[in-house]
Amino acid sequence: MSTFAYVRSGRRSLRIAGSMAGIALLFSASMAIAEPNIDAAIAEERQGNDQSIASQKRINVIDDQTDEMASEYRTTLDTIESLRVYNTQLEKLIASQEAELASLDEQIGNVTQVGREVTPLMLRMVEALVNFVDADVPMLVSERQERLGQLIGLMDRADVEDSEKYRRIMEAYQIENEYGRTIEVYQDTLSIDGEERTLDFLRVGRVALLYQTLDGEEVGAWDQQAREWVELPSEYSDSVRKGIRIARKQLAPDMIRVPVAAPEDKS
C-alpha cells in the first residue's frame, strides 16, 4: 500500500512539475508576444506627445498672431477715429476758407471801385498841397519843392500801389503840419540888393520867418502880406540871435520878440 502510494505521489509531483514548466513556457511565450506590443504602444504614445507639443506650438503661434492682429485692429480703429475728427476739422477750415475767398473776391471788386474814386482824391490833395506851399512863407523852399515834385511824379507811376501813394501824400501833409508847431534854424541863400548872400534863417512855426547875416549885423523878416523880404530895425537883432541859439539847442527855450503882421480889418 505504501509503495503504491509513493509511486502515485511521485507521479503527482511529476505532473505538478510538468504543469509549472508549461506555465513558464506559456509566460515566456506571452512575454515574447507582448514585448513588441508594449514598444509599439510606447512609440505611439511618444509620437502622440510629439504631435501634442507641435500642436501646442502652433496654437501658441496662432495665439500670438491673434493678439498682434487684435492690437493692429485697435490701432487701426484709433487711427480711423483720429482721421474722422481731423477730416471734420478740415471740412470746417475749408468752409471758412471758402467764405474768406468769397469775401476777398468781393473786396477785390470793391478795391477796383475804390481805386477809381481814390485816385482823383489823391490828385486833388497833391494839387492842394502845391497851392498851399506856393502861398505859404518861403521857408525851406528847395526841400519842399523837391518833395512836391516827387509826389507829382509818383502819381504817374503804374508800379506803385495806391496805398503807397496815399501814404506818401499823408506823410507830406504831416511834415507841413509839423512846420507850424516847431522852431528851426537853417542856412540858405537870398538875393539882397542884387547880391546872393548866405544867411541864417530862423523859422518860428508859421508865425515868423526871419534871417540874420552870418556876421550878425543885419536882420530881416518875411512880410507875408507884401510877399517880400524886409529889413528889420537893429532892436530885433538880439531877439533873432537868441532865437537862433534856442533853435540850435544852445539855450533853453525862452520868450523872444518877433515881428508879427497885424490882422487885416475885413469889416
Where do the domains of the chain lie? 182-259
Q: In the prediction, which pLDDT does 247 show?
A: 93
The Cα–Cα gap between 221 and 227 comes to: 11
What does DSSP assign to residue 246?
A: H
Q: Give the pLDDT score at 10.
A: 46
Q: What share of the chain is helix, strand, coil (3-state, %, to 5)?
A: 70, 15, 20
Q: Which three cell numbers stand for residue 14?
A: 511529476
pLDDT in tens, the chain (267 residues): 444 444 444 444 445 555 555 555 555 555 555 566 777 777 777 877 778 788 888 888 888 888 888 888 888 888 888 888 888 888 888 888 888 888 877 776 666 666 677 889 999 999 999 999 999 999 999 999 999 999 999 999 989 988 899 999 999 999 999 998 999 999 999 988 888 999 999 999 988 999 999 988 899 999 998 899 999 998 999 999 999 999 999 999 888 888 876 655 555
Q: What local confidence, expressed as pLDDT, does residue 2 receive? A: 41
Instruction: Give every CB contact of residue 248 below 8 A, 6+ residues apart in sequence.
Output: 185
Cell, residue 244: 537862433
- The answer to whether 183 and 200 have CB atoms below 8 angstroms apart is no
Separation CA 92–CA 77 (nearest Å): 23
Determine the pLDDT at residue 28. 58
CA distance 2 to 7: 9
pLDDT of residue 209: 95
